[in-house]
Amino acid sequence: MVSPSDITLKPYPQPHSSPALPHWIATQANTPATLAEHLADMWKNLSNPMPAAFYPPETVPANTSKIACPNNATTVKLADGTPIHAAKIALDYTVPGATASKRTTHIAGQSPPVDSFKNFLVQGIESGRGLYQFVSTKAHQKGSDSKETPIIQMLQDAMAAAESSGGKVELGNGRYQVQTLVLQAGADRTGDHVRYDLTVFDTVKKKNITVPLTQAGLKFTNAVLSADHIARASKLMDEHNATLEKTGQPSPDDPLIASHAGHGRNGTLITYRAICQRIKDGLVNDDVSLEAALKEVISKGRQAKPHFVHSLAQFEQLHAALQTQLKANRPRASAAGASTSRAVEQALRAALPSTHAGLEMKVSSEPLSTFTKGSIIANAEELAAIRVPSTVPPEDPAVPAGSRSATLRPPEILQTIPFAPDHRGNLKTTAQAFINALDGAEQAKSSQVVIDPKLINDLPGDWFITPGPVKQHAAALAMATIDKYRTRFEHLKSVTFRCDKGQEGVFRNLFAMREKFTTRRSYQALLRPALSQPLVATDRITFLRRNEEGIYVPDRVTKDEHGTLAIQPGSTELPETLNGIPLAVWENPPASDKDWDDLTTLIEEPELPINITAVAVRIIEKDGRIWQTVPTLSDDTLASTPKNHIEERMSAQATAHKLAYEQTGLRIRLTGVIEDKEQLDPATGEVKIVRQYEARRIGGTPADMGWQSQAVHLVPKKKLQEPVAS
């Protein structure tokens, strides 16, 4: 067994030792600075021995992945000596305090083609353990365009063919005759798995044998099983084994686990379950022993199956799933120990850079004098003049010494924003004011900026058609702007909204909604006020008109001479249906990144380029027209294809669904990939890739567009003003 000393880097601190930074925090140039870099180093150091020989395809057929079967001592053979595309992995370990070692045996197999699936069923019958197979979500749902056919489906097809000719399906050269295949209660294709009881008659022993067959249709987004889905797959395995215990066939070993290539999902699940058992037995109890166990199990697996646990991304998700299990298994510490543990956790959290590391938002009713030295006080007297911080002492006696004011007189003016409407003005000008305040703080290398009430309170109330909580609208817009631009700040760590006691509740309510925010309409409504001075969507379509009192009111749906429809937020003038599909608010849309991933039905697509950064969606209406959006904070007045960066914890396809809904209010179904388009990043000079998807509208309404859009257009294809996702 591998000992902790075999790990090349210094060990982690023990769970309740004195506070210290983890060993992979950069202390020298060649030491990894993040957990991701540390795992990448571990991954590179894992060996991947290749087998000396392979079986010819006529002996052991490969499936569509074309991966040959290694010919070695680990290859699984049936009772009659027939090899199948599967390998045994025996793992030994000693429980602390025990006199003898424990052994668990796992079997990883490649999902078979139709001409060899019966051999896998024979293995499940002879072992008495049945089978467990990973399949794609499309194959699980019996998608007609799926590239793989599950073993259960192959058996059902064979049984139907045999029944039509008056016979029975025979397995193992006629020894086993299939009697029934019965779906277990509570396991149907509407969920993420199915489980059947297969009963065969053994013509040699003259008795019936029943084994379970489990099919797991968990998402394998970008060829990665997420940490949550790894844990879910393990739970499905526990349920599979529980059915065997009910029939008096308990065993410490799992059944053969088949996956498409035979070393990815099944290798991940085998590793997870093997190490979870070590966690339960007390052998793995901290980060050092976890890493040693990962190295041991994966190395052992690769002796039998090359590329066992197939990618760094999968390795990272496996590590995350095991960390969750390790934390859940740790006993509650004493009060003193818990305090020390929290200190370690805080040190870790403080040291770990986050890809979305940015700003913490706070609210305070304390006077300015209480804020720390070095804070930027953004207390502009008018929204029209947000000015750059200065190194000279501030003139305002309420500002603590050592701070710098964001409202000093010229020549320190960073940018003067015209207060008069510019036909696109209100929302964008307001957002720009907050951006300038934060930019000023960043230039001064301040870690904190304090937003004075004047930036929130002094917005004119007549910006809104209906009476409403102007402070809520302004504060929500400030928060949304900060979220949008948070990644551009290196020094700035927190933004404090300073207000009186009566306003604190407004901000705390917004903070609570922001924590839950993904596409919640209650928060979107605050981010997108009903403007009496509406935002102009294009140079050709004018939304400005006055009512009898001289107040600007928007036409909610406008049509120009070219046939382009322009829809504004909250329109009530849309028809109930368009081309037979309802135009109605999507009730209960996904509320988290995981929900979006779970909702997304994946389409087949080329492998994602390594430098892909964003996705775009061309939404085509049944009649051929194209849905486009006019971004709220864009300098361009032309409509464009919905586009956004790929979100960190979501797949490209899930991001496409989410951005389409947030920017247009539409629920879509992806239908294909148009192209991967190169774009030059002017900030870095790097060429990056945007994947462009094609989609169809299946629900939603443009009236429900998110705050990111000021209008949605439905454009005749021949009148498109730009290429897809420029």
Same domain, 367 and 475: yes
Any domain includes 334 = no
Average pLDDT of the residues in 686-697: 88
539-590 per-position pLDDT tens digit = 223 333 444 554 444 456 667 667 788 787 767 778 888 888 888 888 878 8
Nearest to 437 by CA among 491, 396, 383: 383
Same domain, 277 and 410: no
Exposed / middle / buried, residue 680 (Cβ in 10 Å: 0-12, 13-18, 19+): exposed
Q: Tell me phi and psi for residue 589, to 5 degrees.
A: -70, 165
Distance linking the first and last C-alpha atoms of the chain: 55
Exposed / middle / buried, residue 327 (Cβ in 10 Å: 0-12, 13-18, 19+): exposed
Which one of 58-72, 157-171, 484-498 scores highest in mean pLDDT? 157-171
Give the pair of three-digit tokens for residue 76. 């699984």
Is the pLDDT at 376 greater than 80, yes or no?
no
Same domain, 290 and 188: yes
Same domain, 368 and 324: no
**Domain-ending residue, one of 507, 527, 547:** 527
How far apart are the C-alpha atoms of 314 and 268, rounded to whole Å?
Answer: 8
Q: Which residue has the higher pLDDT, 551 or 625?
A: 625
Q: How confident is the model at residue 164 (pLDDT cuts 50, 70, 90)?
A: very high
Q: Which domain holds residue 469?
A: 360-527
Residue type, 371: F
Any domain includes 25 = no
Any domain includes 532 = no
Give the pair of three-digit tokens for residue 338. 């818990």
Q: How confident is the model at residue 366 (pLDDT cuts 50, 70, 90)?
A: confident
Is the pLDDT at 697 greater than 90, yes or no?
yes
Q: How confident is the model at residue 428 (pLDDT cuts 50, 70, 90)?
A: low
Average pLDDT of the residues in 694-703: 91
Q: Is the Cβ–Cβ distance between 426 and 535 less than 8 Å?
A: yes
444-465 per-position pLDDT tens digit = 677 777 766 554 544 433 332 2
Which CATH number belongs to the domain containing residue 615 in this structure? 3.90.79.10
Residue type, 597: D
Any domain includes 579 = yes
**Domain-ending residue, one of 329, 346, 375:** 329
Is the pLDDT at 425 greater than 50, yes or no?
no
Same domain, 322 and 375: no
406-423 per-position pLDDT tens digit = 332 222 222 222 222 222
What does the pLDDT read at residue 484? 64
What does the pLDDT read at residue 297? 94
Any domain includes 22 = no
Any domain includes 21 = no
Average pLDDT, the chain: 71
Q: Where is 390: in which H helix or E strand?
A: none
**Residue 347: HSE in the Cβ half-sphere, 13 Å Cα cutoff:** 18
What percentage of the chain carries pLDDT values higher than 90?
A: 29
Which one of 86-90, 360-364, 447-451, 701-705 scores highest in mean pLDDT? 86-90
How far apart are the C-alpha atoms of 80 and 399, rounded to whole Å?
Answer: 87
Q: How confident is the model at residue 98 (pLDDT cuts 50, 70, 90)?
A: low
213-254 per-position pLDDT tens digit = 999 999 988 889 999 999 999 999 999 999 888 777 767 789
**Domain-ending residue, one of 476, 507, 527:** 527
DSSP state of 495: E
Q: How confident is the model at residue 171 (pLDDT cuts 50, 70, 90)?
A: very high
Which CATH number belongs to the domain containing residue 201 in this structure? 3.90.190.10
Q: Which residue has the higher pLDDT, 328 or 521?
A: 328
Same domain, 517 and 559: no
Give the pair of three-digit tokens for residue 29. 């140039």
pTM (2 d.p.): 0.47
Any domain includes 61 = no
Residue 400 makes CB contacts below 8 A (sequence gap 6+) with 368, 369, 371, 372, 373, 375
Average pLDDT of the residues in 18-35: 36
Average pLDDT of the residues in 387-400: 35
What does the pLDDT read at residue 368? 58
Same domain, 202 and 311: yes
Q: In terms of residues, how long is the chain?
A: 726
Alpha helices in 357-494 (DSSP H): 425-443, 454-457, 470-485
Same domain, 596 and 486: no
What does the pLDDT read at residue 525? 46
Same domain, 302 and 379: no
What residues does 699 pair with on adjacent strands?
A: 667
What does the pLDDT read at residue 487? 66
- Calculate the CA 75 to chain-centre distance: 36
Any domain includes 570 = yes
Which CATH number belongs to the domain containing residue 424 in this structure? 3.40.220.10
What does the pLDDT read at residue 252? 76
Q: Is the Cβ–Cβ distance between 618 and 725 less than 8 Å?
A: yes
Least confident of 51-65, 111-125, 583-597, 628-642: 628-642
Q: Tally the domains of the chain.
A: 3
Same domain, 651 and 521: no
Q: How confident is the model at residue 331 (pLDDT cuts 50, 70, 90)?
A: low
Same domain, 407 and 317: no
- Calculate the CA 150 to chain-centre distance: 27
Same domain, 444 and 567: no
